């Protein structure tokens, strides 16, 4: 095992990795920009080096300086965390070229999964089901028309270099195609400096299900079940859980095996995630592969008992997986809420300031992966996610009950957070009964009403408690009811029972 590793990240994930390393008697080196000097991730590490940089964000992207510090500090390996340089194939290559170990996959695996059309091609060849559509960038509008006709409307135009939903355009009939094609191209060029686009069949009201895999350098692979990440707001995940309410053992095994095929197809080593869309008929389609440890990895850890960060270190050090596929058993249920420093009563505007008081919840089945503490300064330079609250229960209701309680115990003063909104989500009857898809937040909450609510502290909690139940009953366009008439009736019955 390594004696010392460098963590090329900040915030809660740097703390998470430092904890795993400490438990394995591996020393850790933190790197930090001056604005982060007093953050917990710095004091959690055994050594800390200051990054010399003009802007805070570019500090954590400075490949040359980070590798210099790694060498100077005597670190043998670098863990990139998520975001920043974690899926930068050039960084992974530069780490190897410096004679260090990259705690992650091979540069080539990262590169091949970076292109959406390239990834689709590789997966189709490996027998992984992909969304119907084409696998090469589309050159002309005539070509687009042909493919759309073949696939059948509705379709979705996506950016080849894209991800995160940017530049996506849904097209419901041929007369909308010209405008959508050109505007998708414009948006792709603006966002990714690359105007290549391709076409997929639009999967309506899908679930976002991802499979965690791990692979060692000896050719051993395992899947660790799924995470349901359907609760998103504007392509930002808010609540994740494992297992998903829509998978049974048979579908879990089929998707797990396909995920391992996908990992094999790109010669994958270390921890990775295969994202799928699952439609109403439980068909699943490959969406993309994330070649890093993900934000929501703790829910998988809680239901499998496998420490993914430790497993990453073992794999990178050349050891075999510490378990086999047969050892993987899903036990109980885990939910994660992301604590963002955003004001849910003002359109989720990011908030900044000094956290003058912070009390994090605890107790049986409650886990807090946090990057902040009392006294921490929240700046505008980085992603506004401060912490993750994860609960584990014997079943889904138990986990939700613990989450409600833990959210109410969580006190953060000085910056606004989305905790009241998270309470509304976990108390919502549609969420409680597992009745949601990727459209949930948009359909279940009326943000005009939310923005008018001006209440304080405990009152917020009371108001939100009512809000969570009431919105789907009173909101003007809660469920696009012509699409889901039965669901709407069922909701009202559930709501009456709950109140
Ligand atoms: C889709 C889709 C429906 N059909 N592709 C959004 C982010 C990007 N990674 C892929 N996304 C989607 N791709 C087809 N063919 C719907 C979405 C989508 C979505 C996916 C996962 C989670 C939340 C979402 C919210 C809106 C749209």
- Going by alpha carbons, the residue nearest to atom 24 of ligand 1 is 438
Number of the ligand 1 atom closest to the C-alpha atom of 165: 7
Residue 497 tokens, joined: 């029972």
Number of residues in the chain:
499
Whole-model pTM: value is 0.92
- Going by alpha carbons, the residue nearest to atom 25 of ligand 1 is 438
Annotated active-site residue 292? The verdict is yes
What is the pLDDT averaged over residues 226-237? 96
- Going by alpha carbons, the residue nearest to atom 8 of ligand 1 is 165
- Residues 6+ positions from 421 with CB-CB distance below 8 Å: 238, 344, 450, 464
What is the pLDDT averaged over residues 118-144? 94
Contact 130, 288 (CB under 8 A): no
Q: Tell me the backbone φ, ψ of residue 236, rounded to 5 degrees.
A: -110, 120
Q: For 207-467, which CATH class?
A: alpha beta
Pocket, ligand 1, Cβ cutoff 6 A: 131, 156, 163-165, 200-203, 206, 208, 232, 235, 277, 287, 438
- Nearest-5° angle of CA 152, CA 180, CA 153? 10
Alpha-carbon torsion, ordered 348, 238, 168, 477, to 10 deg: -70
Is residue 480 pLDDT above 60, yes or no? no
Is residue 416 pLDDT above 80, yes or no? yes
Contact 128, 262 (CB under 8 A): yes
What is the structure's pLDDT at 213?
98
Burial grade of 473 (CB within 10 A; 0-12, 13-18, 19 or more)? middle
Instruction: Determine the CATH number of domain 4-103.
Output: 3.40.50.20
- Going by alpha carbons, the residue nearest to atom 21 of ligand 1 is 208
Architecture of domain 132-201: 2-Layer Sandwich (3.30)
Give dist(CA 75, CA 243) in Å, integer: 37
Percent of the chain topping pLDDT 70: 89
Mean predicted lDDT score pLDDT of the chain: 90
Number of the ligand 1 atom closest to the C-alpha atom of 203: 4
Consecutive H or E run containing 239: strand 236-242
Cα-to-centroid distance, 211 and ligand 1 (Å)? 16
Cα-to-centroid distance, 283 and ligand 1 (Å)? 15
DSSP string, 7-41: E---HHHHHHHHHHHHHTT-EEEEEE-GGGTTSHH
- Going by alpha carbons, the residue nearest to atom 19 of ligand 1 is 438
Give dist(CA 203, CA 234) in Å, integer: 17
Residue from 287, 442, 444 whose mutation best tests the ligand 1 pocket (most atoms within 8 A of CB): 287
CA atoms within 13 A on the CB side of 107: 11
β partners of residue 349: 343
Is residue 132 pLDDT above 70, yes or no? yes
pLDDT digits (tens, 9 = 90+) for 62-76: 999 999 999 999 999
Give dist(CA 228, CA 333) in Å, integer: 12
Q: Domains of the chain: which residue ranges?
A: 4-103, 132-201, 207-467
Looking at 16, 233, 292, 396, which residue is catalytic? 292
Cα-to-centroid distance, 237 and ligand 1 (Å)? 12
Cα-to-centroid distance, 151 and ligand 1 (Å)? 17
Is residue 111 pLDDT above 80, yes or no? yes
Cα-to-centroid distance, 165 and ligand 1 (Å)? 7
CA 311 to centroid of chain Cα atoms: 19
**Most distant CA pair in the chain, distance:** 65
Cα-to-centroid distance, 478 and ligand 1 (Å)? 20
């Amino acid at each position: 095992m390594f004696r010392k590793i460098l963590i090329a990240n900040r915030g809660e994930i740097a703390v998470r990795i430092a904890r795993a390393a400490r438990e394995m008697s591996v020393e850790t080196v933190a790197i930090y920009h001056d604005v982060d000097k007093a953050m917990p991730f710095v004091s959690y590490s055994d050594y800390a080096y200051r990054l010399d940089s003009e802007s805070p964000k570019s500090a954590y992207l400075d490949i040359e300086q980070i590798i210099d510090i790694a060498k100077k500090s005597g670190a043998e390996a670098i863990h990139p965390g998520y975001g920043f340089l974690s899926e930068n194939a050039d960084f992974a290559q530069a780490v190897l070229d410096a004679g260090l170990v990259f705690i992650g996959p091979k540069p080539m695996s990262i590169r091949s999964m970076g292109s959406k059309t390239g990834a689709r091609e590789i997966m189709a060849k490996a027998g992984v089901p992909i969304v119907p559509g084409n696998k090469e960038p589309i050159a002309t509008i005539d070509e687009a028309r042909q493919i759309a006709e073949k696939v059948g409307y509705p379709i979705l135009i996506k950016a080849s270099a894209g991800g995160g939903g940017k530049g996506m355009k849904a097209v419901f009939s041929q007369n909308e195609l010209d405008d959508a094609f050109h505007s998708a191209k414009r948006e792709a060029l603006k966002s990714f400096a690359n105007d290549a686009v391709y076409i997929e069949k639009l999967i309506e009201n899908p679930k976002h299900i991802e499979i965690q895999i791990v692979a060692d350098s000896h050719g051993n692979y395992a899947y660790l079940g799924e995470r349901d990440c359907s609760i998103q707001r504007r392509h930002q995940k808010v609540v994740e859980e494992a297992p998903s309410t829509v998978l049974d053992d048979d579908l879990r095994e089929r998707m797990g095996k396909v995920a391992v095929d996908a990992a094999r197809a790109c010669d994958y080593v270390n921890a990775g995630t295969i994202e799928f869309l699952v439609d109403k008929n439980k068909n699943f389609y490959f969406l993309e592969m994330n070649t890093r440890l993900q934000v929501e990895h703790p829910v998988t850890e809680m239901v499998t008992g496998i420490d993914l960060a430790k497993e990453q270190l073992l794999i990178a050090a050349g050891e075999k997986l510490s378990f086999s596929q047969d050892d993987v058993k899903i036990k109980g249920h885990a939910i994660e809420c992301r604590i963002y420093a955003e004001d849910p009563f003002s359109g989720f505007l990011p908030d900044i300031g000094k956290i003058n008081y912070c009390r994090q919840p605890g107790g049986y089945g409650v886990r807090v992966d946090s990057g902040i503490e009392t006294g921490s300064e929240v700046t505008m330079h980085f992603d506004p996610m401060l912490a993750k609250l994860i609960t584990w229960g014997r079943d889904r209701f138990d986990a939700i009950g613990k989450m409600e309680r833990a959210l109410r115990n969580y006190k953060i003063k000085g910056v606004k957070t989305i905790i009241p909104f998270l309470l509304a989500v976990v108390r919502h009857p549609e969420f409680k009964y597992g009745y949601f898809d990727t459209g949930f937040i948009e359909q279940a909450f009326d943000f005009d009403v939310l923005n008018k609510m001006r209440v304080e502290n405990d009152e917020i909690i009371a108001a939100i408690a009512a809000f969570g139940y009431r919105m789907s009953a009173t909101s003007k366009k809660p469920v696009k009811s012509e699409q889901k008439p039965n669901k709407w009736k069922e909701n009202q019955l559930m709501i009456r029972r709950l109140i």
